[in-house]
Amino acid sequence: MKKSGILNKEICNLIGSMGHTDLLVISDSGLPIASDRYRIDVSIVGGKPGVFDVLDPVLEELEVEKVIFSEEMKTVSPKCLEETLKHLPEGIEVEFVPHVKFKELTNTQSKGVIRTGEQIPYSSIILVGGVTY
């Protein structure tokens, strides 16, 4: 039995398959996900688990060089953006793209999507894989 870290087998496999510049999406419950995308649905009920319940342990195990948010998050969910930034590694590059582009990246370039039960608009985040050397 695994002693620590993420216990979910599918999330462990997804993180283990990530390479430099690969995209991993942690999504809210409403983000449209293409049927051909690798999807890990951990949602239970509205709001649970939240994005931070997934983001924090993923950041413990995945080297991330950049994060991407929807531009709309700045105006629609500014408190969520402020809180999310507190959870990120210090000095990490942050990029904002229009939500249409965010969905395109999710559905055409992501290696996988972890769908949470989060119900805050535009609270999804794209993690860009980094390198440890």
Q: Just list the catalytic residues.
A: 20
Q: Residue 25: exposed, middle, or buried by beta-carbon count in 10 A (0-12, 13-18, 19+)?
A: buried
Q: Give the C-alpha separation, 16 to 19, whole Å.
A: 8
Tell me whether residue 28 is annotated as binding: yes
Tell me whether residue 123 is annotated as binding: yes
Distances (CA, A) of 98 to 12, 55, 103, 104: 30, 21, 9, 10
Tell me whether residue 99 is annotated as binding: yes
According to DSSP, the β-strands at 23-27 and 125-129 are: antiparallel
Tell me whether residue 124 is annotated as binding: yes
CA atoms within 13 A on the CB side of 78: 2
Q: Which two tokens stand for residue 10?
A: 């599918």
Feature table: binding site for substrate: 28, 99, 122-124
Binding site: what residues are annotated? 28, 99, 122-124
